[in-house]
A and B are shown apart, each in its own frame.
Chain A
């Protein structure tokens, strides 16, 4: 597997400094938290993404993010990359994030595109969960 330097860097930094890279979790029942969990252990990857949101004017803004991912190196790097993209975005802006953005940012190899798809799914689920609470 020939990963780009970007994937390896992202993976290693996330592993070495988990807190700085938003590894963690919140209580999913809190009203300002949206949780998305996608993937399956049998398939080799599970991502759990949580967004903390606050109302600003007429929109909801992602003020903080936490995640945990079980999966290959590129799955972990993809979630971590997504987390970087999310902070400070409104929900509307976050919905616009496409898996291709992650593919481009990390230069994912073709065989690992599904990791980016999973990451995209995780934000959609998290937003859906949050929106069901407001």
Chain B
């Protein structure tokens, strides 16, 4: 077993070796280095063939027409293009957009920008399980609503929104439905021929592909119209200009092909590791699992260790790579906005750790980490005045804290 151990697969994933091989073939003089937009010679044709094969592989994973896939630089750009592109194109129809408080910053910041342009945004509060329900969406819809943007799987707690039911509502009302699926490719089956989703964002690097490449699904029937955000040459049917990055695209295609092939097996294994991990922790005192227990993607384990601050726990777990909702691990010094939005008290948000399990996680790594976590939490609690008070039966909510 090699140290440090990677438990941050929701942040990014290593590129699968099979993907690396494919990408390497698209770089040098003896490889497929041409510009896919070059129509006058074989180098261009061959490169185009490779990017189109990749497009087909992406389309197959989510069961759509390859012509509905637009290459972007990643899910952030896809979210920007979907939200700003569709809102600006449709501003004649209305100015109201619905999203939620637990979306990724790529969605929230795009919405903030639209607010500055005069759009009105409703930010839904999810339930305490982290899920945004169809009823919550329904109740916010007005005759001005042009777009609903929600994530498929939440990147912090892994809970799954019911995009099938929400899509039925938006489709009936003629509202565009955008889904950020950066976390869900390879983790959940997605069938766009059955879903009433109009726009869907994808990222390669969350699914064992390279960073710097993503895609946006833009439905053809009924056709969703977008205002391009990047101009210069009219690539990708005018929706996203710029020379196609053959090696990146081929990498994403291969990663998504593998995801389709391995999804069922991968997830079965990952889920059993996650359950084992949680079984190893949940008998500890004052330990809480964040987010819905059932409607949750396989690899996610977001846990609050009460009376222990998350950053100090990460430091004590120095051989383990994880993320925390603690303020001290964020540049803003604010605890996780996702955990706060689901109603977690600030101290439990400070105490949270996200263990994200993935394709290369082993049984041995999980067992080793359970031991390490139990030991570190125990030691930090010995150091914690709050743990003392809890053990003495003091209700911390009744204390007047002096803050400087």
Contact = CB atoms under 8 A, between A and B. Distances in A.
Interface in B305-342: 307-309, 311-312, 315-316, 326-329, 333, 335
B125 interface: no
A92 B308 CA distance: 34
Contact of A68 (B329, B335, B385): B385
A58 B329 CA distance: 47
A57 B20 CA distance: 76
Given A11-B312, A38-B404, A42-B347, A18 B388 contact: no
Interface string A96-134: 000000000000000100100110010001000000000
A2 interface: no
Contacts of B329: 1
Contacts of B346: 41-44
Contact of B326 (A23, A44, A76): A44
A69 B404 contact: no
B276 interface: no
B404 A117 contact: yes
Interface stretch (B170-178, B204-212, B265-273, B375-383): B375-383
Contact of B309 (A3, A25, A71, A114): A71
A72 B315 CA distance: 9
A15 interface: yes
Contacts of B326: 44, 72
B383 A111 contact: no
Contacts of A47: 385
B286 to A, nearest CB: 13
A98 to B, nearest CB: 14
Interface residues of B, number: 32
A19 B378 CA distance: 15
A52 interface: no
Contact of B380 (A15, A25, A45, A125): A15
Interface in A24-68: 25, 37-48, 68
Contact of B383 (A41, A43, A76): A76
Given A70-B308, A118-B404, A46 B386 contact: yes
A44 B328 contact: yes
A25 B315 CA distance: 24
B384 interface: yes
* Interface-centre pick from A44, A68, A114, A121 (highest chain B CB count, 10 A): A44
B312 A43 contact: no
A88 interface: no
A15 B379 contact: yes
Interface string B355-397: 0000000000000000000001001101111111000000010
A44 B396 contact: no
A125 B401 CA distance: 13
B404 A45 contact: no
Contacts of B350: 41-42, 44
B287 to A, nearest CB: 16
Contacts of B309: 44-45, 70-72, 75
Contact of A15 (B316, B347, B386, B388): B316
Given A1-B329, A117-B404, A73 B312 contact: yes
Nearest to B331: A111
B324 to A, nearest CB: 10
B81 to A, nearest CB: 33
A134 to B, nearest CB: 22
B2 interface: no
B385 A72 contact: no
11 contacts: A15-B379, A15-B383, A38-B402, A39-B401, A68-B384, A70-B385, A70-B386, A71-B309, A73-B312, A73-B328, A75-B309
